[in-house]
A = this chain, B = another copy of it.
Amino acid sequence: MARTPTTADSFNAVADASRRRLLDALATGEATVSELVDRVGLRQPQVSKHLAVLREVGLVLVRADGKRRWYRVNGPALQPVYEWVRNFERTWNTQLDRLDDLLGELQSQEESK
């Protein structure tokens, strides 16, 4: 069996560094394909192809305006990724571990009232 297709979900789409850079370039707002070509430094066909992948998984939305296409980030498509990694926050942040412990204690005290 081959690797999971890049268009399978946000996890796979976002694994590619070029696509992450495209999303970064869109983080501040809308942009056209030409603008993205300039900002990211990829050739136009590659940008269009990457955008097609991002579109397919719902990570970006497009708006037509004459011959231009205004692309923008579609936040919610990134949320599953965020939620998944967030579960591991405590594995690298000891301060948050302590906070977790504290909250757990408070909850226990609350429940035992």
**Binding site secondary structure of chain A:** helix
Please tell me the size bucket of the interface on A.
20 to 34
Is A11 engaged at the interface, CB distance under 8 Å to the other chain?
yes
Give chain B nearest CB distance to A1 CB in angstroms: 10
Within 8 A of B (CB), among A63-93: 73-76, 78-79, 81-82, 84-93
Oligomeric state, in copies: 2
Q: Is the CB of B88 within 8 A of A78?
A: yes
Q: Is the CB of A78 within 8 A of B85?
A: yes
Q: Return the contact of A87 from the options B6, B27, B74, B85 (Cβ within 8 A).
A: B27
Q: Is the CB of A82 within 8 A of B85?
A: yes
Across-interface contacts of A108 in B (CB, < 8 A): none
Q: A3-B6, A11-B14, A14-B11 are in contact. Are A82 and B75 (CB under 8 A)?
A: no
Enumerate chain A interface residues (CB-CB to B < 8 A).
Answer: 3-4, 6, 11-12, 14-17, 20, 23-24, 27, 73-76, 78-79, 81-82, 84-93
